[in-house]
């Protein structure tokens, strides 16, 4: 019967184990000096050698004549321990034997002396799967085991193991095996098995296995079965649903060039051809990382601006977890790409039009951020708390009820004429006092917060889902759905975004966001935008004022001050649409 490569080439002694040198050295020294512990815990990623090292260690501590901490394989104990019928080395799968009864049965048998070996070794694999009752039953046994008993607990998830168990064990953290070590091991296996394979395939297998040698050998086994002759990179891509580096390069070029139709067509073709979209974007992430490293270390030319590449790599890395967990990864990926392409185009256009606020700073968000801590100092507060106590309570209640996450699963309906929205490139309004406007809106939102209005606006946000796929406004709707509603008053909605970069981008789109929101929801409220970190500061400031019985005073929103605006300038008309007749043009 054919034996899988990962089983055939599983090490049977410490000298054959690769990638865990420090652990092997420690265990070998403990055997040489005969000072090994009664309980061990091995934890780390899958396929890094935890169970293999457990079995080797169980055999080596029972060897009658170990050589430099390695079993001699000749004595009676070695012959018995290497036999499949050995009854003194007990392996327990905690995933299927996780109850109290199984552990109690173990406790009843542990007092029996070994029948053949010196030590009775219990290897409990995936120990984190034990129930709380089972852990409690095991606790006393680990505390005071018989002299002839040794426990080895193995797990991929040590966070789920109680601290009381961990503290009674000598713990070893198994690290991911490096790509170089995996490649060398694969070359050895291929040479022994006479498998013909390209070097770049071996490299891709090592990267694809993410530090797990068992996964690497399993993938090699699968490729060997798939290929009739020499294993090529095309075979690798076909089996794993990945794409070539040329395809990745072409795909990225079109993303940075803003070729939306081509990018969406590629995503569609990837899925239709049976490609794994998640693996493809892991490939793209690694590709971008390698380009950036080569740029900084070797001076290699970049295919686009450094800012665009850094932004894309960071955003993709942040979104990978959500992509993996999404019910429909294709939709999530398409929305991510559309959002990035649009915002990248906005940033490119804004670089040629410098935004200057009244203080001469280039970054409005930095001004808002720096002013958050001094909000209470800049705003005079004269009202008595009793006159606004109900408002204050409502604003506080609104704090934690708005962390709803929206999905993009609804189909588009055309109740609203989306052709009325402009599809032209976004023009950035040069508003001198936008930071002051934001501060006043934030203050007034807290002062007049109403939980009923918060619930109403949360329902309004639900309406936005119907327009996520609209070609004209979908990217703007997705921007709003990426935010969290924090506090709502009769005039304003305070929303937050996770990252400062998102705040900057959406402040540039403020008039467009307000326009689509007003038309879709029939709400006339204005937006105040902050980051999640800024929100935490604002919330702390609110709580401090509440404890000190200080209320918020409603302030008049300042008029918009534009800089050097021509009469027929599009920027002027955009600001007029957003702020009405309060606009004052200098």
HEC letters along 222-238 = HHHHHCCCCECHHHHHH
Length of the chain counted residue by residue: 586
CATH code assigned to 179-240:
1.10.8.60
Pick the CATH number of 5-173 from 3.40.50.300, 3.50.30.10, 3.40.50.620, 3.40.190.10: 3.40.50.300
pTM here? Answer: 0.56
d(CA 504, CA 482): 14
d(CA 483, CA 319): 15
Other Cβ atoms less than 10 A from the Cβ of 332: the count is 19
DSSP class of 156: S
Amino acid 529: pLDDT: 92
Regions in the chain scoring below 50 on pLDDT: 352-429, 565-568, 570-572
Amino acid 152: pLDDT: 92
For tokens 């409603």, what's the residue? Answer: 554
Q: Are strands 526-531 and 484-488 parallel, antiparallel or unpaired?
A: unpaired
Work out the angle between the directed axes of helices 389-397 and 434-447 (0-180°, nearest 10).
110
As beta bridge partners, residue 281 has: none
Amino acid 40: pLDDT: 92
Residue 477's nearest CA partner among 493, 461, 454 is 461
Note whether 431 and 561 are within 8 A (CB).
yes
Strands (E), 89-184: 89-93, 120-125, 149-155, 170-173
Amino acid 325: pLDDT: 84
Pick the CATH number of 245-351 from 3.30.70.2860, 1.10.10.10, 1.20.272.10, 3.40.30.10: 1.20.272.10
Domain ranges of the chain: 5-173, 179-240, 245-351, 364-585
Residue 58's nearest CA partner among 85, 27, 35, 93 is 27
Instruction: Dig out the tokens for 555 from the structure.
Output: 């302030």
Amino acid 412: pLDDT: 35
**How deeply is 519 buried, as exposed, middle or buried, from its count of CB atoms within 10 A (0-12, 13-18, 19+)?**
middle
Note whether 574 and 409 are within 8 A (CB).
no
CA 238-244-250 angle, to 5 degrees, is: 135
Amino acid 326: pLDDT: 83
Amino acid 564: pLDDT: 55
Note whether 375 and 435 are within 8 A (CB).
no
CA 337-334-204 angle, to 5 degrees, is: 80
pLDDT tens figures, 286-299: 889 988 998 888 88
pLDDT tens figures, 367-391: 333 334 333 333 333 333 333 333 3
């Amino acid at each position: 019967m054919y034996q899988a490569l990962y089983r055939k080439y599983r090490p049977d002694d410490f000298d054959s184990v690769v990638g865990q040198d420090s652990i092997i050295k420690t265990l070998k020294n403990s055997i040489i000096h005969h000072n090994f512990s009664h309980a061990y815990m091995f934890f780390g990623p899958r396929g890094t050698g935890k169970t293999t090292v457990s079995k080797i260690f169980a055999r080596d501590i029972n060897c009658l004549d170990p050589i430099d901490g390695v079993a001699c394989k000749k004595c009676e104990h070695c012959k018995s321990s290497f036999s499949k019928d050995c009854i003194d080395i007990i392996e327990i799968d905690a995933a299927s034997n996780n109850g109290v009864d199984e552990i109690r049965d173990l406790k009843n048998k542990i007092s029996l002396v070994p029948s053949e070996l010196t030590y009775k070794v219990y290897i409990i694999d995936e120990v984190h799967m034990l129930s709380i009752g089972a852990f409690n039953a095991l606790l006393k046994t680990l505390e005071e085991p018989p002299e002839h008993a040794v426990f080895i607990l193995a797990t991929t998830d040590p966070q789920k193991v109680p601290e009381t168990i961990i503290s009674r064990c000598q713990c070893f953290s198994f690290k991911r095996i490096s790509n170089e070590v995996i490649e060398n091991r694969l070359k050895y296996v291929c040479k022994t098995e006479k498998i013909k394979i390209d070097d770049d395939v071996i490299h891709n297998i090592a990267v694809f296995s993410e530090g797990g040698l068992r996964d690497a050998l399993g993938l090699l086994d699968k490729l060997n079965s798939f290929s009739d002759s020499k294993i090529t990179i095309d075979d690798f891509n076909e089996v794993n649903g990945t794409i070539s580096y040329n395809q990745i390069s072409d795909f990225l070029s079109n993303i940075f060039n803003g070729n939306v139709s081509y990018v969406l067509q590629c995503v569609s073709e990837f899925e239709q051809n049976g490609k794994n979209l998640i693996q493809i974007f892991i490939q793209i992430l690694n590709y971008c990382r390698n380009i950036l490293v080569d740029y900084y270390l070797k001076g290699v030319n970049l295919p686009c601006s450094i800012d665009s590449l850094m932004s894309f790599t960071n955003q993709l890395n942040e979104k990978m977890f959500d992509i993996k967990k999404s019910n429909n990864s294709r939709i999530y990926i398409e929305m991510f790409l559309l959002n990035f392409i649009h915002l990248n185009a906005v940033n490119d256009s804004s670089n040629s039009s410098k935004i200057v606020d009244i203080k001469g700073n280039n970054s409005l968000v930095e001004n808002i951020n720096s002013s958050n801590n001094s909000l209470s100092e800049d705003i005079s507060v004269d009202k008595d708390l009793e006159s606004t106590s109900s408002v204050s309570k409502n604003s506080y209640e609104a704090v934690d009820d708005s962390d709803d996450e929206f999905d993009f699963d609804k189909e588009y309906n055309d109740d609203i004429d989306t052709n009325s929205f402009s599809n032209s490139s976004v023009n950035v309004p040069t508003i001198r006092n936008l930071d002051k406007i934001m501060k006043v809106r934030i203050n007034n939102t807290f002062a007049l917060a109403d939980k009923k209005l918060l619930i109403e606006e949360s329902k309004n946000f639900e309406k936005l889902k119907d327009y996520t796929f609209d070609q004209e406004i979908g990217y703007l709707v997705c921007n709003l759905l990426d935010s969290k509603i924090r506090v709502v008053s009769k005039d304003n909605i305070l929303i937050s975004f996770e990252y400062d970069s998102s705040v900057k981008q959406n402040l540039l789109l403020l008039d467009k966001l307000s326009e689509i929101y007003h038309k879709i929801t029939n709400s006339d409220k204005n937006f105040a935008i902050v980051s999640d970190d800024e929100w935490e500061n604002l919330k702390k400031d609110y709580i401090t004022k509440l404890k000190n019985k200080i209320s918020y005073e409603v302030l008049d929103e300042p008029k918009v001050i534009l800089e050097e605006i021509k009469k027929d300038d599009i920027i002027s008309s955009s600001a007029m649409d957003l702020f009405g007749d309060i606009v004052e043009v200098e």
